Amino acid sequence: MIYITGDTHGEFDRFENRKLRKLKADDCLIICGDFGFIWNDSKKEQELLHKIGNKKFKTLFVDGTHENYDLLSSYPVTELYGGRVQQINKNIYHLLRGEIYTIESKTFFVFGGGYSDDKEIRQENGTWWQEEQPTENEKIYAKSNLDKYHCSVDYIITHQPSMNDMGMVLRHCTINALSAFFDEISNSVDYKKWYFGSLHKNKKLRKAQCLFTDIVKIN
């Protein structure tokens, strides 16, 4: 089984949800960015990572706009589900930008990162990192991977939505380079469903779903 949810922001309660109690070793929970448990490397944070890592199921997350990218870059890169990942703990993995994974015979294109509207009031390399914004090389790599799959995947997982989907959830939204890139992906890739977090809302769209606290099963 594959479950997916929105931003967890370092809050452990989501992992105690009754929906996850039936998950087994081959199952996984995917988090749409802002995992939040890699932030200050404190003893408490390490204890929580240990508790999550010892769950029967795998926890997979894309990066968002509230991760400590200095800490995140220190974890080793390995392979899982046919793509590159960083292993954080026993059963915790960071899904890397532009990779395509095959999980339970379904293909997932993932692309983390985002744009912080409040970065001007946050401290660079303290509460905000430039690395949250994807580079052109990461976008090129993503497109080349999609070409290998003939621009057809089952699911797309991101933190930030496309500009079009953002407009379906928010009354007012700011155009940025990443959302524009996702618009391009949306128009050129054949997919069944796109899941994203970032907006702190739970809302179903025509071909996408905005997730925050909801935990949904991918059928």
How far is it, in rounded angstroms, from Cα 57 to Cα 65? 25
- Please tell me which residue, 176 or 147, carries the higher pLDDT value: 147
Over residues 3-27, the mean pLDDT reads: 95
Q: What is the pLDDT of residue 126?
A: 65
Report the predicted TM-score, pTM, of the whole model to 2 decimal places.
0.94
User: Which residues, in sequence order, are CB contacts of 137 under 8 Å at separation 6+?
Assistant: none
Confidence of residue 129 (pLDDT cuts 50, 70, 90): confident
What does the pLDDT look like over 150-197, one tens digit per residue?
999 999 999 999 888 877 787 666 678 898 899 999 999 999 999 999
Length of the chain, in residues? 219
**Beta bridge pairs of residue 85:** 78, 95
- pLDDT, mean over the chain: 92
- Quick one: pLDDT at residue 117? 67
Selection from 61, 80, 82, 83 nearest residue 72 by Cα = 61
**For the chain, which residues make up each domain, given as ranges?**
2-217
**pLDDT value of residue 125:** 63
Rounded distance between C-alpha atoms, residue 102 and residue 87, angstroms: 17
pLDDT value of position 122: 66
User: What is the spatial distance between Cα 202 and Cα 214, in angstroms, rounded to a whole number?
Assistant: 6
- Counting DSSP H helices and E strands in the chain, the numbers are 5, 13
Q: How far apart are CA 125 and CA 68, in angstroms?
A: 8
CATH number among 3.40.50, 3.60.21, 3.30.420, 1.10.1060, domain 2-217: 3.60.21
User: What are the backbone angles phi and psi of residue 60, rounded to the nearest 5°?
Assistant: -120, 135
